[in-house]
C-alpha cells in the first residue's frame, strides 16, 4: 500500500522550485564577482595604473585553469562520476578561496611591485595575483554552473525544465545587474577593492546555500529509494567520444562561444564604453549596461516557458543571434552617440540574451543522454571559456593599440597631481596619513579624467604635438600658485579635500586647453562583436538544419517529454 502511493519529491512543486531557488543562489554571487572587477576599470587605471592590457588579462584569466589545464572537462567527469553534491560543494569552496585571494591581492599588494614571468614578461605583481585569484574562482564558478544545470535536469525532467533554467539564470543575472549598477559607485565612494570585498561576502552566502541544497537533494534520493525508476548505465570515459562525434552538439557549443563571447566581454567593458562614447558620469555608467541583465531576469523565464509549451528552440536561437548582430552593428556607428540610443540597444541586446540561453541549455538534454550531461555541459563550458580567455585579452590589446596615448596621458595627469600634493604639503610643512593622501590623489585624478571625458568633445591633439614635460610642469606650477594662499591644517582631511578641489579645477582647465587625449575610442572593439554576431547567425541556421535532418526535437515543446 505504501509503495503504491509513494512519490518522488520532485512531484511536489514546492520542493522542486525550492531546490531550484536555493541552488541558484550559489551563482548569484558568482555572477556579481564576474563583473565587479572589470566594472571598476576607470578606477583601476587612475588609482593603480592598470592599463587596458592589464584589464584584458585580468578579465581573461577567469578561464586560465579551465582552458589550459582542462579543469572544466575534469569537473564534468567528476560530476558524472561523483554526483551533484560532492562536485557542487567542492566548486563553491573554490569560489570562496579564489575571491579571497583576489581581494587580498588588490587590497594588500603594492601597485608598484613588478615581477617577470614566462609568457607574460614584465607585469605588476598585483595584476598577476589578482588574475590567479580570478582563475581559481573561475574553476569553481564553471564547475558550479554545470552542476546546477544537471541538478535542474534531475529535479525538472519531464516538467518545466526550460522555465526552471530560465529562472535560475535570472537569479544569477541579478548578480550581474548588481555588479554593473553599484561596483563603480562603491569604488568611488570607498576604495577600488570594496566591490571585491562584497563579492567575498556573497561567495560565503553561496556556499551556505549549496549546503542547504545538499540537504534537499538527499531527501529527493531518499524519496526515490524504493521507486521503480529507469536506471541508466554508469558514465564511462568512452561516452566522451559519443558526445564529441555529435554534430548538433558542436553547433550548440560553437554558438555558445560565439554568442556569449559577444555578450559577456561586452559587459566587462560596457561601463567604460558608455563613459567614453556616450559621455555619461561614472556613477551613471553602470545603469545602462545593467538594463541588459535586468531585462533578462524577466524575459529568460518567459521565453523558457514558451519553449516548454510551444517549442521552436532552434528558431528562438536564430532570432536571438540576429538581434545580437543588429545591436552591435548599430553600436559600431560613430555618430550614434546619444546615451538614450545606447540604452535602447542594450535593452534589445537583453532580449537577444534572453532568447538564446532560454533555448540553448534545455536543448542539450534533447541530443545528449542524461548520464553524459555533466560532461556534455563541461565540454560546452570549456569551449565557451576559450572564448572568454581569448576575446577579453584581444579586446584589451585592440583597445590599447587603437588608443596608444590614453593610458600614458592618464598616468601623466596622476603624476602631475601627485607631485602637486607633495610640493604643496612640503611647502607648508604638513604631514598626512599615507592612506588619506593616496586616496586624495586618486580621487582628484579621477575627478579630472571623469570631467574631461564627460563634458568635452574636442578633437584630441596629436601626441607628437604634446610636450609632456612642459605640460606636467605647467600643471604643477598652476596648481601650486592656485593654493598659495590656502590655509592648511596638519592631518586634517578637510585640507586634503580643499587641495583636491583646487587641483581638479586647475588641472582640468590645462588638460582641456591642451586637448590631451584621455578618451578611449571603442569602435574597433565593437567591430569584433559584430563579426561574432554574424557567425552566430550562421551557426544557428546550421543547427536548425541539423535538427531537421536528425529529428532531435529542438522545435518540439519540453513539457511531457521524459529524458
Q: What is the pLDDT of residue 370?
A: 72
Burial 341-368 (b: 16+ CB within 10 A, else e): ebbebbebbbbbbbbbbbbbbbbbbbbb
Q: What is the CATH number of domain 12-220+245-403+521-550?
A: 1.20.1250.20
Residue that the C-alpha cell 542539450 belongs to: 364
Summarize pLDDT for 362-395 with one digit per residue, the tens.
Answer: 888 888 887 777 778 778 888 888 888 899 889 9
Q: What is the pLDDT of residue 238?
A: 67
pTM more than 0.85: no
Summarize pLDDT for 206-226 with one digit per residue, the tens.
Answer: 999 999 999 998 988 888 776
Total Cβ atoms within 10 A of residue 117 = 10
Looking at residue 246, the DSSP 8-state letter turns out to be -
Parse the chain into domains and list their residue ranges: 12-220+245-403+521-550, 406-514
Query: How far is residue 100's CA from residue 107's CA, in Å, rounded to a whole number?
Result: 11
CA dihedral sign of residues 314, 315, 320, 322: positive
Query: How far is residue 494's CA from residue 501's CA, in Å, rounded to a whole number?
Result: 11
Using alpha carbons, list the distances in angstroms from residue 90 to 97, 199, 221, 306, 539.
11, 18, 20, 35, 35
Residues (pLDDT < 70) of the chain are: 1-6, 119-120, 226-239, 559-563
Q: What is the pLDDT of residue 560?
A: 57
Total Cβ atoms within 10 A of residue 9 = 18
Q: What is the pLDDT of residue 227?
A: 62
Count, in order, helices (H) and strands (E) of the chain: 23, 2
Nearest to 560 by CA among 233, 310, 229: 310
Q: Give me the percent of the chain exceeding a pLDDT of 90.
A: 41
Amino acid at each position: 500500500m505504501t509503495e503504491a502511493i509513494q512519490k518522488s519529491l520532485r512531484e511536489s512543486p514546492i520542493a522542486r522550485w525550492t531546490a531550484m531557488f536555493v541552488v541558484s543562489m550559489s551563482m548569484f554571487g558568482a555572477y556579481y564577482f564576474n563583473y565587479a572587477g572589470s566594472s571598476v576599470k576607470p578606477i583601476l587605471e587612475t588609482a593603480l595604473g592598470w592599463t587596458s592590457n592589464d584589464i584584458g588579462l585580468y578579465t581573461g584569466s577567469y578561464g586560465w585553469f579551465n582552458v589550459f589545464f582542462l579543469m572544466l572537462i575534469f569537473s564534468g567527469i567528476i560530476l558524472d562520476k561523483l554526483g551533484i553534491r560532492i562536485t557542487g560543494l567542492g566548486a563553491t569552496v573554490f569560489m570562496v578561496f579564489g575571491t579571497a585571494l583576489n581581494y587580498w591581492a588588490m587590497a594588500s599588494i603594492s601597485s608598484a611591485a613588478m615581477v617577470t614571468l614566462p609568457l607574460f614578461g614584465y607585469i605588476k605583481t598585483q595584476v598577476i595575483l589578482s588574475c590567479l585569484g580570478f582563475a581559481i574562482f573561475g574553476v569553481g564558478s564553471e564547475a558550479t554552473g554545470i552542476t546546477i544545470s544537471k541538478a535542474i535536469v534531475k529535479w525538472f525532467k519531464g516538467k518545466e525544465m526550460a522555465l526552471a533554467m530560465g529562472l535560475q539564470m535570472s537569479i544569477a543575472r541579478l548578480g550581474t545587474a548588481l555588479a554593473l549598477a553599484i561596483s563603480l559607485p562603491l569604488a568611488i565612494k570607498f576604495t577600488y577593492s570594496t566591490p571585491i570585498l562584497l563579492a567575498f561576502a556573497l561567495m560565503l552566502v553561496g556556499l551556505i546555500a549549496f549546503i542547504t541544497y545538499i540537504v534537499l537533494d538527499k531527501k529527493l534520493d531518499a524519496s526515490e529509494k524504493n521507486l521503480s525508476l529507469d536506471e541508466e548505465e554508469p558514465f564511462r570515459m568512452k561516452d566522451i567520444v559519443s558526445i564529441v562525434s555529435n554534430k548538433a552538439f558542436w553547433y550548440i557549443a560553437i554558438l555558445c562561444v560565439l554568442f556569449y563571447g559577444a555578450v559577456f566581454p561586452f559587459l566587462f567593458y560596457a561601463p567604460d564604453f558608455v563613459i567614453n562614447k556616450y559621455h555619461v558620469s561614472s556613477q551613471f555608467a553602470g545603469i545602462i549596461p545593467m538594463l541588459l541583465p535586468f531585462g533578462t531576469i524577466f524575459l529568460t523565464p518567459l521565453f523558457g516557458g514558451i519553449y516548454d509549451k510551444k517549442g521552436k528552440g532552434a528558431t528562438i536561437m536564430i532570432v536571438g543571434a540576429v538581434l545580437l548582430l543588429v545591436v552591435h552593428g548599430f553600436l559600431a556607428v560613430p555618430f550614434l552617440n546619444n546615451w538614450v540610443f545606447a540604452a535602447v540597444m542594450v535593452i534589445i541586446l537583453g532580449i537577444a540574451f534572453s532568447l538564446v540561453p532560454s533555448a540553448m541549455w534545455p536543448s542539450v538534454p534533447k541530443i545528449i543522454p542524461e548520464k553524459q550531461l555533466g560532461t556534455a555541459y563541461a565540454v560546452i563550458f570549456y569551449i565557451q571559456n576559450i572564448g572568454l580567455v581569448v576575446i577579453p585579452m584581444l579586446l584589451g590589446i585592440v583597445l590599447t593599440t587603437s588608443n596608444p596615448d590614453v593610458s600614458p596621458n592618464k598616468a601623466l595627469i596622476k603624476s602631475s597631481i601627485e607631485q602637486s600634493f607633495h610640493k604643496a604639503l612640503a611647502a607648508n610643512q604638513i604631514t598626512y596619513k599615507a592612506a588619506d593622501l593616496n586616496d586624495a590623489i586618486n580621487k582628484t585624478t579621477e575627478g579630472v579624467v571623469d570631467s574631461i571625458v564627460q563634458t568635452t568633445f574636442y578633437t584630441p591633439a596629436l601626441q607628437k604635438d604634446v610636450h609632456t614635460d612642459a605640460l606636467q610642469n605647467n600643471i604643477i606650477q598652476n596648481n601650486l600658485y592656485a593654493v598659495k594662499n590656502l590655509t592648511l591644517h596638519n592631518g586634517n582631511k578637510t585640507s586634503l579635500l580643499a587641495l583636491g578641489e583646487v587641483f581638479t579645477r586647475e588641472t582640468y582647465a590645462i588638460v582641456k586647453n591642451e586637448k590631451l587625449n584621455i578618451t578611449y575610442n571603442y569602435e574597433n572593439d565593437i567591430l569584433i562583436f559584430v563579426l561574432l554576431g554574424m557567425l552566430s547567425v550562421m551557426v544557428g541556421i546550421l543547427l536548425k538544419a541539423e535538427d531537421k535532418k536528425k529529428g532531435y526535437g529542438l522545435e518540439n515543446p519540453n513539457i511531457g517529454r521524459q529524458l
